[in-house]
Amino acid sequence: MKMHDGLSDRVRERLRGIGALSEAERESAAEEKQLNELLRRFYANDIQGDAVLEALKTYERDKAWELLRMARDKLRQSFKWEELRLEFTEREDGSMTVEKGEPQETTAVPTAEGAVLELTDASFDAAVSEHALLVVDCWAVWCGPCRMVAPVIEELAKDYAGRATFGKLDVDKNPATARRFQIQSIPTILIFKNGRLVNQKLGALPRAMLEPAIAKHVEAKEPMPPAGD
């Protein structure tokens, strides 16, 4: 276990440069570590969104604006952001407020061209059947390499709109599908063509390495079945 797990890059740099933290920096590091633990528990579904909002409202009452900004930025990096429906307001004087937003009515999984779909155990098979070419990014909130490949998936989704569909599967929230496809490391990219798994890529691949595996299925024509079938 690393001595300074949970500390920000700024604090780590301070440790490397000077070798010791001031009292204020130690307090800041402790607060950040506490925030990270709160978010970890939320990501693991140990606590619900109301508990997160209550903690954030405490930051607001204590005028802990830096912690509130940090929490906002961390939450915006995951699909949990949509689930929380939080509204942060930052004023000109640097103060902030956070409130629960109004729920948005949804009747189906979004299918807008260029959108990256959020897939679940319940919706996975339907998505595979519905989309002729489906590329699935298997990821988790805590996975650093997953955050590296996320913008690649988003770019490809926009550039291949109308020709391929892209989705993301949180393996922590959807363990049944992860077990079914034997996902043992993440990120893992699954490529389905006409309902069949045709390729699987491991690791945070750059676009130059991932795109050819997708493009060949966009361009290739399906072979004609043998006569008599």
Element (H, E) at 166: strand 165-170
CB 206 within 8 A of CB 189: no
Global pTM reads 0.51
CB 21 within 8 A of CB 33: no
Whole-number Å distance between alpha carbons of 168 and 138: 6
Please state, as a whole number, how many other Cβ atoms lie within 10 Å of the Cβ of residue 182. 8
User: Which residues are annotated as catalytic?
Assistant: 143, 146
Taking only the tens of pLDDT, the chain with its 229 residues reads 344 455 566 656 655 555 566 787 788 888 888 888 888 888 766 788 888 899 999 999 999 999 899 888 888 766 567 777 888 898 889 899 999 876 544 334 444 556 889 999 999 999 999 999 999 999 998 898 998 999 999 999 999 999 999 999 999 999 999 999 999 999 999 999 999 999 999 999 999 999 999 999 986 544 444 545 4
Q: Write down all domains in the chain, each with its CATH number in brackets.
A: 16-100 (no CATH), 116-219 (3.40.30.10)
Backbone dihedral region for residue 123 (phi beyond 0: left; psi -120 to 50: alpha; all else: beta): alpha
Q: What is the DSSP string of 54-118?
A: HHHHHHHHTT-HHHHHHHHHHHTTSTHHHHHTEEEEE-TTS-EEEEEPPP---SS----TTPEEE
Whole-number Å distance between alpha carbons of 152 and 75: 20
